[in-house]
Structure 1
Amino acid sequence: METRYTAAQLRAAAADAVRAPSLHNSQPWRFRLRDGGIEVLADPARRLPATDPSGWGVRIACGAALFNLRLALAVAGIPASVRLRPYPAEPDVLARLHPETPRRPTPAEQALYAAIPRRFSNRAPFWPDPVPADARWRLGEAARAEQCWLELLIGVSAVAAFAEIARGAHRVLERDPGYRAERDEWVRVTPAPDGVPVASGGPRGEPHDPLPSRGFGGRDRAPGRDFEPEPLVAVLGSVGNTAIDQVIAGQALQRVLLAATDAGLSASLLSQPIEVHTAREQLRLSLGRFGTPQMVLRIGYGQPGWPTPRRPVDEVLDLPAP
């Protein structure tokens, strides 16, 4: 039985972990090998003080990276047991993974793992084709498998009610010059290992768009390429809103995104209604759900886009001296 992870195993799994999404593609994670276990740490140097003053976004991103890490280890035949926030005196250590009994990966694990390099945020307009019921069911099951819930907003009235909340939150955020400046700092017009390249930023927002966009790209859209009039909007939520709940929600988010990718779907993230406290509470009340909304997704069928870059794996590893 495997009792310790090795540096080579961590390096291989971390190459998949870093493909997780994060606010502004800030990549706020580190991975440490300590006493034969792998630890996932928040990187406070990469927190966004204006966009994410509470660290919620860092914990969501690290949870998503944790899910990729779990998946990579399972597919390598060395699955992990996970303890969240294992050290009260070290709050930046969000998870510790210890080897379990080696086993063969399941077909479901293999399918989700194969989706990791194909998953990225698609901020362009989607096609009007509806997402079929079986695919919607798969997305809900993915959230439930990670102890979270996924509420799908289907139909004109449900989406319009959400859009009003989202646009209100967007206006609140855009009034903050620090927020706007921080977003602009992460837009990349030349190649870089982090941030959002202009090509991946999506088209410039228009007043008639059904949902707000952050405007990373600022590019004019092609004629006839308006956003879909009835997007499938999904709200991901957790039981509570502690730091552990947020890490759990990050894992659920990544599982949902990989399930969507495996089903041939595209997705983009809308966190504005989560970032503004009053909008988040409005959203919670409108859903009538027990728990806390943690992320909003726009899901549909779209033209292939451009993945965002990642830092070299060795930049995010902490390994013991040889």
Structure 2
Amino acid sequence: MNGYDDTDLLRAASAGIRAPSLHNSQPWQFRLHGDAIEILADPSRQLQVADSAGWALRLACGAATYNARLALAVSGRPADVLLAPDPSRPDLIARLTPGRERPPTYTETDLFAAVARRHSHRLPFWPDPVPADVRVRLIEAARSEHAWLDLLVGMTALTGFSEIAHSADRVLRRDLHYQAEMITWAEADTASGGVPSRAAAPVTEHQDLLPQRAFTDRQRATGRDYEPEPLVAILGVATDRRLDQIIAGQALQKVLLTATDAGLSTSMISQPIEVPAARDQLRRSLGRSGYPQLALRIGYGQQAGRPTPPPRPVGGSGAGRRMPTVLTAVPPR
């Protein structure tokens, strides 16, 4: 079949840029290279304090890769995917080459429809429990992308996670460089990315089970406490190489889109992953030999949140030319 062209590149990038990223940093680029579409990490968008090792950057680029795969699949031009194809190019996350043409599956169509609807919901969820069959779908979504998803059940498990998460959050809050970097990504109502105050969670209160990022000093409305027993999920992979983090990003995005397709809202909790001691404690608490990559808060809430300003606009085309990324207004991480 013919190779991918500018139309395919635009289609893949337009979906890819709707992936989540730490502080909505959008650390990706897309380009045509020969007949392939390449997803590259953008080191200029890497968080130098919060993500000095590049874990969050690779997770975000993996999620963008999954969205790009979906976009190509629903167009009838699915991709064969090579992750981290060139050891000498750590910035090269994935290379997508044309596979056998076929109609999209029902699952691909449904998940692609969820791409534009997915956003992080940082406000309190409603008390409705997540049904058992939907929980199974979320677990299977991670497994199908070579990751695992552990759902924390019962207050003993939730309280243990809460202690780990709050401890990690306190460590990060004491780091003045970390806080200064986060402030630079707050109130970013421009095309540069970041999390505007209207999309941020209100200030954490002493009774809250889970910590929230301090992107705003807004207080919550009276009577709007966070849910006392949320569904918390831990996403992980078997090992912790650069490749594994890209794999985890793809699995993360499939889980998020599966949740969105099921009418659920989500937000992400990364503090326990950002602090090595907390991450190790979390891994041991799960009884897992693998490595946690992110925690998710899942429940029912208003999905039609206000869009953020558009990230970086897509521009340029042609083989070998890098594309800055973003077409339309999309929700922040």
TM bucket (normalised to shorter chain) is over 0.9
* Percentage identity across paired residues of the two chains: 56
Contiguous gaps of at least 5 residues in structure 1: none
Match of 2:80 in 1: 81
Q: Matched residues in 1 for 2:316 and 2:220: separation?
A: 36
1:189-229 C-alpha deviation (Å, 9 max, x unpaired): 64445111111011111111110011213211111111000
Contact 1:187 1:197 in 2 (8 A): yes
What TM-score do you get using the length of structure 1 for normalisation? 0.96
What TM-score do you get using the length of structure 2 for normalisation? 0.93
For residue 98 of structure 2, what is the amino acid of its counterpart? P
Contact 2:209 2:228 in 1 (8 A): yes
Mapping of 1:286-301 within 5 angstroms?
286-301=285-300
- Shift of the alpha carbon at 1:173? 0.6
1:27-58 C-alpha deviation (Å, 9 max, x unpaired): 00001110110111000000001100100000
Is 1:108 the equivalent of 2:107?
A: yes
Match of 1:63 in 2: 62
Match of 2:328 in 1: none
1:224-274 C-alpha deviation (Å, 9 max, x unpaired): 111000010000000110000000000000000000000000000000000
For residue 41 of structure 2, what is the amino acid of its counterpart? A
Q: Matched residues in 1 for 2:174 and 2:126: separation?
A: 32
Aligned pairs, number:
320
- Shift of the alpha carbon at 1:313? 4.1
Contact 1:72 1:113 in 2 (8 A): yes
Is 1:32 the equivalent of 2:31?
A: yes
Q: Matched residues in 2 for 1:33 and 1:190: separation?
A: 30
1:171-192 C-alpha deviation (Å, 9 max, x unpaired): 0111100100111101126444
For residue 276 of structure 2, what is the amino acid of its counterpart? H
Is 1:127 the equivalent of 2:126?
A: yes
Contact 1:201 1:218 in 2 (8 A): no
Distance 1:140 1:309, change over 3 A: farther
Mapping of 1:1-322 within 5 angstroms?
1-2=1-2, 4-188=3-187, 190-304=189-303, 305-315=305-315, 319-320=319-320
Contact 2:191 2:312 in 1 (8 A): no
Contact 2:39 2:93 in 1 (8 A): yes
Q: Matched residues in 2 for 1:247 and 1:307: separation?
A: 26
Q: Matched residues in 1 for 2:68 and 2:136: separation?
A: 25
Contiguous gaps of at least 5 residues in structure 2: 322-333
